[in-house]
Amino acid sequence: MKEFYTVGEVAKIFNIPAPTLRYYDDIELISPWKTGENGYRYYSKAQFEIIAMISFMRSIGTPIKRLKEILNEEGAEGILAELKRYDAEIDERIADLKRLKTKVRLFGDNITKTCGTEDITVEELPAMYLMCKPFGDEDELDIDEIIKATASAEKWADTAGIISTITPENLAAGNFHTYEKYGYISELRWPEKNRYTSVLPGGKYVCGSMKIRTVEHFEADAAYRAMMDFIEAEGLKITGPAIERNILDLYSGDRYSPTMYFRIYIPVEERSLH
């Protein structure tokens, strides 16, 4: 086996672009071992291990300045610190991918249940997690205020849907456009509690869907009345606020007036016969 290799040969062996090797030479990260009589510059086979290490460390994001420091250390502490950093980064990526996979599955499930059907059903739902604030006279739609209350809430919000809530009293009075709270809901637990967080208890819910095409949400009245009639006919009692969850918005040919699909959850229990 030969001892010396040209820049082009080393580039092919390690799958490193030749201009990158020349750049490493210019900044004195690693340079060819010798210059031949023909003027070509050659790397020694003895440099292969360090070239391989440089290639790997760059692939995990180690900055060149830091890499030059590591290569000039007496011990392996710098390398180990970089490997530990990247190991933690991999764990974070895995967690992000798991969260994304869960969102994809849940999003698909919610679309399937909501779009293309107006069936009203009684379902046992698991606990879900809310981060919302009351409607008020000032900044009632300030979602940023909600998620900034928890430093890591932005990733959680990526898994969530936007909701509004309607109190049982307003449901009974037919006030289907009078909202109590506004914010987020997710099947995943928020990262930590804050003044906006609460838990929607698991249990029995009357579930329905609605398709909104008007800015005034006129279609909501018919959807809620149908659910209220269903609750009455089934001998059920409302036990908490209705959750009106935005599932999907589509332009449907007009991006200024999208078609909106909502899922509605109304918590219920059997009405006492006494």
Residue that the structure tokens 């509690």 belong to: 193
Distance CA 183, CA 246 (A): 11
202 phi-psi bin (left φ>0, alpha ψ -120 to 50, beta other): beta
Give the model's pLDDT for residue 141: 52
pLDDT, position 138: 60
pLDDT-based confidence at residue 43 (cuts at 50, 70, 90): very high
Rg of the chain (C-alpha set): 30
Whether 210 and 134 share a structural domain: yes
Q: Is the pLDDT of residue 143 over 80?
A: no
149, exposed or middle or buried, with CB in 10 Å at 0-12, 13-18, 19+? middle
Q: 244 and 126, same structural domain?
A: yes
Contacts of 121 (CB under 8 A, 6+ apart): 206, 207, 208
pLDDT of 89 higher than 60: yes
Percent of the chain with pLDDT over 90: 69
Of the chain, the percentage scoring pLDDT greater than 70 comes to 97
Q: Would the pLDDT of 39 be above 80?
A: yes
Tell whether 124 is covered by a domain: yes
Average of per-residue pLDDT across 178-184: 92
- What is the reported pLDDT for 266? 97
Tokens of 2: 């030969």
Per-residue model confidence (pLDDT) at position 263? 96
- As to burial, measured by CB atoms within 10 angstroms (0-12 exposed, 13-18 middle, 19+ buried), residue 166 is buried
Indicate if the pLDDT at residue 253 is higher than 90: no
Residue 146's pLDDT is 76
Among 106, 110, 123, 125, which Cα is nearest to 202's? 125
| Mean pLDDT taken over the chain | 90
Which CATH number is 226's domain given?
3.20.80.10
Residues 148 and 215 in one domain: yes
Q: Please answer whether residues 163 and 146 qualify as being in contact, where contact means their C-beta atoms are separated by less than 8 angstroms.
A: no
Show which of 72, 98, 127 is a domain's final residue.
72
Do 138 and 256 fall within a single domain?
A: yes
Please indicate, yes or no, if residue 99 is contained in any of the structural domains. Answer: no
Among 15, 37, 72, where does a domain finish?
Answer: 72
Quickly list DSSP for the chain.
--SEEEHHHHHHHHT--HHHHHHHHHTTSS--SEE-TTS-EEEEGGGHHHHHHHHHHHHTT--HHHHHHHHT-SSSHHHHHHHHHHHHHHHHHHHHHHHHHHHHHHHHHHHHHHTT----EEEEEPPEEEEEEE--SS-TT-HHHHHHTSTTHHHHHTT-EEEEEE-HHHHHTT-TT--SEEEEEESSPPSS--TTEEEE--EEEEEEEEEE-STT-THHHHHHHHHHHHHHHTTEEE-S-EEEEEEEEE-TT-TTS-EEEEEEEEEEEEPP--
Assess whether pLDDT exceeds 80 at residue 94: yes
In a domain, residue 90? The reply is: no
Asked whether the beta carbons of 43 and 4 are under 8 A apart, the reply is: yes
Length of the chain: 274
* Band of pLDDT at residue 274, cut at 50, 70 and 90: low
Q: Which residue has the higher pLDDT, 211 or 146?
A: 211
Whether 155 is covered by a domain: the verdict is: yes
Q: What is the torsional sign of CA 18, 22, 23, 24?
A: positive
pLDDT in tens, 216-244: 888 999 999 999 999 999 999 999 999 99
For residues 230 and 245, give the distance between their C-alpha atoms in angstroms, rounded to a whole number.
19
How many domains is the chain built from?
A: 2
CB 102 within 8 A of CB 188: yes
Range of the domain at 125: 116-270
Q: Are residues 135 and 223 in the same domain?
A: yes
